[in-house]
Every structure is written in structure tokens, then in C-alpha cells.
């Protein structure tokens, strides 16, 4: 009395008291999906020969995707690369679910405008691996900061700005200094004239 256990191409027969019996041959070896049907034979000098057929089913191996974190971006940063891997070591493909905000070509993302960008990572599987569950990742793209208007900042702050017009505070200072200088010159001329007249009377 014995029972047969298939073990790949060859198998083990376990007899009475767990004794190992030799002589089982499955006749076929299956290592890939979906398997197949094996015609087995059993031949042992101590037992009656036997034979039969057995179906061997091999299912596809599952796999998962690991998608590296994507930080938030700003318009104007240009392009950047996506990084992801699968448990099967098969290549991962990427798709933009928001092409109006960002686009994908291969592993390269191009920023289009400000908004929420969503990228999906997929692995379709092969003859021995089932398709992986898709993984999506979203991140924010901020608008580029507006540069300051330097054409008015100098006049508003009362300072000069490049080669532009002088601010009114500086103009008032220049005019005041000019007026004071003119008044001093008029006064000096008046004194000189008075002195000349005094000397004329003495002679």
C-alpha cells in the first residue's frame, strides 16, 4: 500500500510507515505558466506497477510597484526624472493623468503649468508574472514668483535706481543748495559794491 506525491519531474512515493519508495516518474517537467498534463508511471520491484495522468497548474507570480516620492515643484524648474521598480524586475511605464498640467515621455516629466500633477505607474506583467496594481502619485506645481518692479521702487523709496530719473527728494536738495549758493554770491557782490563806494568817498 502506498500513496504518490508528485515532486516536479520526479517524485517521491511514501509507503507504509512513511517509508520512501522509488520509481515515480511524472514524465514531464513544467516550470512556466500555465503548466500542463503529465503522464506519470510508477515502477518498483516490491509493488505493482501503476500509471496515470495528472494536471499540473502553474499560476503567474504576483508583483507590486514601488514608486519613489515626488516633491512639489514650481513652474520654470524644467524637467525631472521619475523612479519606480517592480517586484518582477520588469520595467515600469508612466502616464500623466493630468496632461494639461504635466506631460510624461518615458521617465521624464515636463511641467506645463501650475496645478496638481498626477502620474500613474504601471507594469503589465509577462508570461510568468501577473500585471501589477497601478500606483498613482500626485504633487503640486506652484506658479513662478513674480519678479519685483524695479522701475518704480527707487522713486517710491526716495533712492536712485540705475540711470533713471532722480527722485524728487534729491531734486529738492539740489535746488535748495543752488538757491543758497546764489544768495551767498549776491550778498558778496553787494558787499563788494558797498566797499568800492566807500573808498570812492574817501578819495
* 87 and 105 both lie in a single domain: yes
CATH of the domain at 108: 2.60.40.1080
* 80 and 17 both lie in a single domain: no
Domain that holds residue 104: 65-142
Tell me what percent of the residues of the chain surpass a pLDDT of 90: 39
* 133 and 157 both lie in a single domain: no
| Contact status, residue 85 vs residue 92, Cβ threshold 8 Å | yes
Asked if the model's pLDDT at residue 172 lies above 70, the reply is yes
At 7, the pLDDT band (50, 70, 90 cuts) reads: very low
Asked if the model's pLDDT at residue 23 lies above 70, the reply is no
Final residue in a domain of this structure, among 126, 142, 158: 142
* 154 and 138 both lie in a single domain: no
3-state DSSP assignment of residue 5 = strand
Asked if the model's pLDDT at residue 184 lies above 90, the reply is no
* 52 and 77 both lie in a single domain: no
Mean pLDDT (whole number) for 38-60: 75
Asked if the model's pLDDT at residue 31 lies above 70, the reply is no
Neighbours of 15 (CB within 10 A): 14
Sign of CA dihedral 134, 83, 73, 94: negative
Buried b (16+ CB within 10 A) or exposed e, 69-87: eeeebeeeeeeeebebbbe
Final residue in a domain of this structure, among 123, 142, 161: 142
Check residue 9 and give its pLDDT.
44
Asked if the model's pLDDT at residue 2 lies above 70, the reply is no
* 46 and 11 both lie in a single domain: yes
Q: Which of 70, 120, 84 is nearest to 99 (CA)?
A: 120
d(CA 160, CA 6): 93
* 123 and 184 both lie in a single domain: no
* 103 and 76 both lie in a single domain: yes
Tell me what percent of the residues of the chain surpass a pLDDT of 70: 68
More confident residue, 170 or 115: 115
* 81 and 134 both lie in a single domain: yes
More confident residue, 61 or 34: 61
Check residue 3 and give its pLDDT.
37
Check residue 178 and give its pLDDT.
75
* 105 and 162 both lie in a single domain: no
Mean pLDDT of the chain, nearest integer: 78
Q: How many domains does the chain have?
A: 3
Final residue in a domain of this structure, among 38, 57, 76: 57
Amino acid at each position: 500500500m502506498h500513496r504518490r506525491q508528485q515532486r516536479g519531474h520526479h517524485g517521491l512515493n511514501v509507503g507504509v510507515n512513511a517509508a520512501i519508495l522509488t520509481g515515480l516518474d511524472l514524465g514531464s517537467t513544467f516550470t512556466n505558466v500555465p503548466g500542463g498534463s503529465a503522464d506519470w508511471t510508477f515502477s518498483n520491484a516490491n509493488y505493482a506497477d501503476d500509471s496515470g495522468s495528472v494536471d499540473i497548474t502553474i499560476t503567474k507570480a504576483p508583483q507590486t510597484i514601488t514608486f519613489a516620492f515626488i516633491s512639489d515643484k514650481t513652474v520654470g524648474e524644467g524637467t525631472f526624472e521619475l523612479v519606480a521598480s517592480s517586484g518582477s524586475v520588469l520595467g515600469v511605464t508612466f502616464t500623466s493623468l493630468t496632461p494639461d498640467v504635466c506631460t510624461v515621455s518615458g521617465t521624464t516629466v515636463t511641467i506645463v503649468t501650475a496645478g496638481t500633477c498626477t502620474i500613474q505607474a504601471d507594469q503589465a506583467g509577462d508570461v510568468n508574472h501577473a500585471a501589477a496594481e497601478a500606483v498613482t502619485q500626485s504633487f503640486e506645481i506652484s506658479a513662478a514668483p513674480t519678479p519685483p518692479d524695479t522701475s518704480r521702487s527707487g522713486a517710491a523709496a526716495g533712492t536712485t535706481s540705475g540711470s533713471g530719473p532722480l527722485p524728487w527728494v534729491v531734486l529738492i536738495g539740489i535746488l535748495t543748495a543752488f538757491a543758497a549758493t546764489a544768495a551767498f554770491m549776491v550778498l558778496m557782490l553787494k558787499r563788494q559794491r558797498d566797499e568800492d563806494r566807500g573808498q570812492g568817498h574817501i578819495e
